[in-house]
Amino acid sequence: MVAINGEKVQAQGKTIGQYIEEAGYNKDRVVVEINMEIIPKDKLDTIILNEGDSVEILNFVGGG
Amino acid sequence: MEDKLILGGHEFNSRFILGSGKYNMNLIKAAVEQGGAEIITLALRRANTQESENILDFMPKGVTLLPNTSGARNADEAVRIARLSRAMGCGDFVKVEIMHDAKYLLPDNYETIKATEILAKEGFVVLPYMYPDLNVARDLQNAGAAAVMPLASPIGSNKGLTTKEFIRILIDEIDLPIIVDAGIGKPSQACEAMEMGAAAIMANTAIATAGDVPAMAGAFKKAIEAGRTAYLTGMGPVLTRGGSASDPLTGFLR
């Protein structure tokens, strides 16, 4: 299992880019962190999710 | 006369920084346009696959995005959020905002100084939100802040310039733009801060919760411009007592 935005999901073995697209996130509008490390956009399709990874998929929202 | 707001080497014509929280997305663009704002704040949060709209699609072209570090409770969390925001590829600006109290939402000045120092060294244009304290403002300047953003009142309170005299001290003593942030509830308060010599006004709730959002953004624009012009022009003296006739005191009809 991989923890994505706090939820445990079966995503190990997929690239993070693949997961993002399948789950329905807007790939151009998110920034990804895996185990506290920022993933550059051009690495999304090469980095494979491993069992126990902790992933944050973030985007901008309205704020002051 | 050219009168630019300069932040970290970037020039702006507008002195109105608009927050993007609490809006219907469709109103943000109109508010930005009516307010003439060139800098818009944003927040970073966990993405949601159910939301098809993204705020970046509602930002007029040419605006500078100012991501904040809201949600950060200490310097380390603020640095993490700032780095993630920069990785979105929308520039180097960051508003450092660190708080751990949900009742008053007051900034933690000590952690803010620490985060400012780290982020300035990493090349960010750092605009720290702070409680107006002269010593802290000096520390922020030494840490590399591009401006300081003292609060007028608690965030979202619309109470106006309750810290006025302390903001005035910062304006008089700190050689950085002083951007009054938080608590400004109406255009007259924005105008008053600008008359005092504030470099810019950051507002969100006052506009986002107005009856007519774009019109209120326009009212703030005018108030900020009026206050700036008054400041640059130099206002007349305030008498301690008595009056001073505006009409000639001779040649009366008798």
Q: For residues B73 and B139, what is the distance between their CA atoms, to the nearest angstrom? A: 20
Q: For residues B118 and B246, what is the distance between their CA atoms, to the nearest angstrom? A: 56
CB B41 within 8 A of CB B19: yes
Selecting from B47, B68, B90 the residue whose C-beta is nearest the C-beta of A63 gives B68
Give the pLDDT band of residue B89 (cuts 50, 70, 90): confident
Q: Does the CA dihedral B142-B145-B146-B152 come out positive or negative?
A: negative
Condensed to tens digits (0 to 9), the pLDDT of residues B43-73 reads 999 998 877 788 998 888 899 999 999 999 9
Q: For residues B129 and B147, what is the distance between their CA atoms, to the nearest angstrom? A: 9
Q: CB distance from B29 to chain A under 8 Å?
A: no
Q: What pLDDT is recorded for position B28?
A: 87
Condensed to tens digits (0 to 9), the pLDDT of residues A39-56 reads 999 999 999 999 999 999
Q: What pLDDT is recorded for position B61?
A: 87
pTM score of the predicted model:
0.91
DSSP letter, residue B122: T
Q: Looking at mean pLDDT, say which of A16-25, A38-47, B101-110, B130-139 comes out highest.
A: B130-139
CATH fit for domain B13-233, picks 3.40.50.300, 1.20.1250.20, 3.20.20.70, 2.30.40.10: 3.20.20.70
Selecting from A25, A59, A64 the residue whose C-beta is nearest the C-beta of B68 gives A64
Q: For residues B249 and B147, what is the distance between their CA atoms, to the nearest angstrom? A: 48
* Total H helices, total E strands in chain B: 8, 10
B246 Cβ partners below 8 Å, 6+ apart? none
Rounded to the nearest integer, the mean pLDDT of chain B is 94
Residue B95 is among the residues annotated as catalytic for this protein: yes
What average pLDDT does range B151-158 have in this prediction?
Answer: 94
Q: What pLDDT is recorded for position B25?
A: 82
The reply to whether residue A6 touches residue B23, judged by beta carbons under 8 angstroms, is no
Alpha-carbon dihedral B31, B32, B35, B38, rounded to 10 degrees: 170
C-beta atoms surrounding A1 within 10 Å: 12
**If we measure between CA atoms, which residue out of B177, B184, B148, B188 comes closest to residue B163?**
B184
CA distance B50 to chain A (A): 8
Q: What pLDDT is recorded for position B194?
A: 98
What average pLDDT does range B233-237 have in this prediction?
Answer: 90
Q: For residues B253 and B170, what is the distance between their CA atoms, to the nearest angstrom? A: 51
Question: Which chain B residue lies closest to A7 (C-alpha atoms)?
Answer: B46
CB B220 within 8 A of CB B203: yes
**If we measure between CA atoms, which residue out of B91, B69, B97, B84 comes closest to residue B8?**
B91
Give first-to-last CA distance, chain B, whole Å: 48
Condensed to tens digits (0 to 9), the pLDDT of residues B92-118 reads 999 999 998 889 999 999 999 999 999
Q: What pLDDT is recorded for position B1?
A: 64
CB B38 within 8 A of CB B78: no
What average pLDDT does range A4-14 have in this prediction?
Answer: 93
Buried b (16+ CB within 10 A) or exposed e, B165-204: ebbbbbbeebebbbbbbbbbbbbebbbbbbbbbbbbbbbb
Q: What pLDDT is recorded for position B19?
A: 94
Domains assigned to chain A: 2-58 (3.10.20.30)
Question: Which chain A residue lies closest to B41 (C-alpha atoms)?
Answer: A64
Q: Is the pLDDT of residue B160 over 90?
A: yes
